[in-house]
Amino acid sequence: MNLNKQHGVKMTVAWLAPLLLQGCALWSPSVADSARDQINSHIHAGMTMSDARTELESMHYICHTGTTAYVDENGNEHSVNAPFAVCDKRPGTLSFVCNVRTQVTLIPDGDRVRSVQIVKAPSCIKQ
């Protein structure tokens, strides 16, 4: 590729990137009532952590274990001394660089669910 074409490609990417990333500003930060209702109808305090995780995975959430801190529905960070489950679902696409994820965090009390935190946030490719 000659130098002029390389410069043209870089200029096009530089010009398009801000427009594509603006798609991240279009998402609503609140979890849809239907999604929250579905989660709350299947997951509740007192059920076993493994049953709750299995329920979320059956709803197409991808779960992993967190071990140090989580962010609650109000945006506050909490440290935890026990492993907890973090389950993500990415149902919406804002642009080819951004999508929306719904994250459910299961806070344990022993092997039982103490509380359920549900947040929604954009997930964008870092430039």
Which tens digit of pLDDT belongs to each residue from 16-52?
Answer: 444 444 444 444 555 667 888 999 999 999 999 999 9
The count of structural domains within the chain is 1
Diameter over CA atoms, the chain: 65
Which tens digit of pLDDT belongs to each residue from 53-101?
Answer: 999 999 999 999 988 888 777 778 888 778 889 998 876 555 566 767 7
- Measured distance CA(83)–CA(85) in Å, rounded: 7
Closest listed residue to residue 39, CA positions, set 88, 74, 83, 99: 88
Give the per-residue pLDDT at 30.
Answer: 59
Which tens digit of pLDDT belongs to each residue from 97-114?
Answer: 676 778 899 999 999 999
Q: Where in the sequence is the domain holding 44, given as residue range(s)? A: 3-124
Give the per-residue pLDDT at 13.
Answer: 41
pTM to 2 decimals? 0.66
Read off the pLDDT band of 1 (50, 70, 90). low
Closest listed residue to residue 87, CA positions, set 68, 67, 66, 105: 105
